Amino acid sequence: MTSAAEPSENPDLRAVDGRVPGRRGIATRQRLLQCTSDLLETTSYRDLKVVDIAREAGTSPATFYQYFPDAESALLALADRLVGEGGERLIRPLKAANWHGQNAYLACEAVADAFLDFWADHSALMAVIDLAALEGDQRFRDCRIQLLNTFTVAATEVLTRQRAAGFAAAEVDPEATAVVLVSMLSHVAAHQAGIKQSGVPIGQLRDAMARVMYNSPLGKTDRIVTTI
């Protein structure tokens, strides 16, 4: 739960004029953000208007402008908040896994589920982040990089240990491999609705993602034998 002291610790939660909102102000800000998120489910972010957000929140545009200079700023605040949640959700199965034997395949399934579920839960906001980043908005691009970088770093650590234990060839670059894997996982997760519409069941999509990971240096559990 957000506390009244939080804005003094986090400048991003301050009002537009720099004031530190009290408990009611924080609640109003959170309500405006929730209504912005709700409207994204039915409204293109380009068509999202301050007056609509304020109306949905049961307040006035003047109140909205106390906390955000425009609708895009509210979207950015939602994106920033999502980075922390998403990073934790995506790396949890990666860090908790036992990467040996059949456990490695189960771990790959859990990672695939984490990506698919996270993107499905936040499909509207992730679509905004992806589109704005693609259009060159550095703020949203930074959000996307931070979100995926959390997983990339964690996967790099796992791959480094796999290589040191002899489960991956010495020439395998852990970071490069992690970048390729996270790119594949995020891209498939972002397009899962369209892929499903094309006739590929989500279950089979998830299995395919898991098999690709399992057959990569991340999931390999047979020691590499070097012949001279």
Digit-coded pLDDT (tens) for 159-214? 998 888 887 778 889 999 999 999 999 999 999 999 999 999 999 999 999 999 99
Please check the confidence at residue 20 and state whether its pLDDT lies above 80: no
Specify whether the CB–CB gap between 12 and 77 falls below 8 A: yes
**Structural domain boundaries of the chain?**
6-69, 72-214
Identify which of 103, 219, 101, 81 has the alpha carbon closest to the alpha carbon of residue 161.
Answer: 219
Q: What is the pLDDT at residue 103?
A: 87
Per CATH, domain 72-214 is 1.10.357.10: yes
Its CATH class, for the domain covering 6-69, is: mainly alpha
pTM summary value: 0.81
Q: Computed from CA positions of residues 127, 141, 187, 218, in that sequence, does the dihedral angle turn out positive or negative?
A: negative
- Phi, psi at 199, each rounded to 5°: 115, 5
Q: Is the pLDDT of residue 228 over 50?
A: no
- Return d(Cα 42, Cα 17) in angstroms, integer: 31
Q: How far apart are the first and last CA of the chain?
A: 61
